[in-house]
Amino acid sequence: MANRTIQTSGAPAALGAYSQGVQAGSTLYISGQLGLDPKSGLLLATFAAQADQVFTNIQSILEEAEFKLNDVVKFTIFMTDLAYFDALNKIMDSLFTSDCYPARSAVQVSCLPKGGLIEVDVIATR
């Protein structure tokens, strides 16, 4: 099976030479998503708003590829300040139950594109 590029208007367009997602067999790789509103292209103002938008964007890409949020096996999360860690956990607790938490890394970085506060990439499988 050839790799399949995933693109949806439900998530922001790629900011460079990459795809929103690529499906390779039964695995979906989603490129890092920022807290950008897909309609306006603007970054939302607060960490909580950006994080909510990131997960909305991810869900749109998952749906376009006919995957579900529970198919996610790994998140890599980049934040400009680990002080947001508790807020991130609250958002993720609202999306998942403790019996099916995906694997996750969360790291602090000095800067993200467009001045974002959070960026998340995803690996999902069926």
Q: What is the 3-state secondary structure (H, E, C) of 81-94?
A: CHHHHHHHHHHHHH
pLDDT confidence of 50, banded at 50, 70, 90? very high
Output the average pLDDT for the chain.
96
Distance CA 97, CA 77 (A): 19
Distance CA 43, CA 48 (A): 12
Find the farthest-apart pair of alpha carbons in the chain and give their distance in angstroms, rounded.
Answer: 43
The mean pLDDT of 27-48, rounded to a whole number, is: 97
pLDDT in tens, 34-44: 999 999 999 99
Higher pLDDT, 110 or 15: 110
Looking up tokens 């499906």 gives 23
Give me the half-sphere count of Cα atoms (radius 13 Å) on the Cβ side of residue 107: 8
pLDDT confidence of 114, banded at 50, 70, 90? very high
pTM, rounded to two decimals: 0.95
Domains and CATH numbers, the chain: 4-125 (3.30.1330.40)
DSSP string covering 64-112: HTT--GGGEEEEEEEES-GGGHHHHHHHHHHH--GGGPPEEEEEE-S--
The mean pLDDT of 53-64, rounded to a whole number, is: 98
Per-residue pLDDT at 100: 82
Q: H or E stretch including 56?
A: helix 47-64
Q: Judge whether residue 1 has pLDDT over 80.
A: no
Q: Judge whether residue 56 has pLDDT over 90.
A: yes
Per-residue pLDDT at 67: 98
pLDDT in tens, 65-105: 999 999 999 999 999 999 999 999 999 999 998 788 999 99
